[in-house]
A and B are shown apart, each in its own frame.
Chain A
Amino acid sequence: SQQGEEDPQALSIQEGENATMNCSYKTSINNLQWYRQNSGRGLVHLILIRSNEREKHSGRLRVTLDTSKKSSSLLITASRAADTASYFCATSKDSNYQLIWGAGTKLIIKP
């Protein structure tokens, strides 16, 4: 079942601009993860942020987590055409490692 919403559903920007995607969830979590999926293929893990963390960086990615608002954001800086993909957030609630997935944001980077 889906944990929450992601917005926007679709985002189209020019290469070089920053892209921001948001994720909201409904219940308490252990961690929140972001994944990328290219053209209906397998998903690739991008970054994990734990419930006691507020911000995390990995290369051009910056993730924030606000547990009081039950929301997270993924920022991709200096976007590239290769960043074109769907981005999903997923939350982990307990120790069984199951993830609950957001609806996803389809990102298109225009050259």
Chain B
Amino acid sequence: SAVISQKPSRDICQRGTSLTIQCQVDSQVTMMFWYRQQPGQSLTLIATANQGSEATYESGFVIDKFPISRPNLTFSTLTVSNMSPEDSSIYLCSGISEGRGETQYFGPGTRLLVL
């Protein structure tokens, strides 16, 4: 299985600022995803992080608000830009290795509180 770490684990930010979340995988993964999870709710897919090209965003999410980078097969970042209290949530990254089936491996999440 792949081990995924995220930094920071939590943060408290001021309205209008930006936060970049890092996701590191211990082995190469084919695909990486970023999710948002409101407290007590299910997961909502933000985007698929594509290596070396622009991420593929889901409906309701745009690059200006959530820029994503994926420079190689083991690392990705998600930036939450110009934050508002509505962005308070848990942000999760996950990865899939095609050779290991269709299981998604998740990072521990980043708890974000925007004041």
User: Residues of A with Cβ closer than 8 Å to B?
Assistant: 1-2, 31, 33, 35, 40-45, 48, 88, 92, 96-99, 101-104, 106
Q: Which residues of A contact B68 (CB under 8 A)?
A: none
Q: Sorted from nearest, which 6 A-B pairs have the closest CB atoms?
A: A42-B106, A42-B108, A43-B106, A45-B103, A101-B43, A101-B42
Known: A33-B104, A42-B106, A92-B102. 19 other contacts (CB 8 A): A1-B44, A33-B102, A33-B103, A40-B111, A42-B107, A42-B109, A43-B43, A48-B103, A88-B43, A96-B48, A97-B30, A97-B31, A97-B96, A97-B104, A98-B33, A98-B45, A99-B104, A104-B41, A104-B42
In the complex, what residue of chain B is closest to A31 when comparing beta carbons?
B102
Q: Which residues of B contact A99 (CB under 8 A)?
A: 45, 104
Is B101's CB within 8 Å of the partner chain A?
A: yes
User: Residues of B with Cβ closer than 8 Å to A?
Assistant: 4, 30-31, 33, 37, 39-45, 48, 59, 90, 92, 94, 96, 101-109, 111
Out of B40, B42, B45, which one reaches A88, CB within 8 Å?
Answer: B42
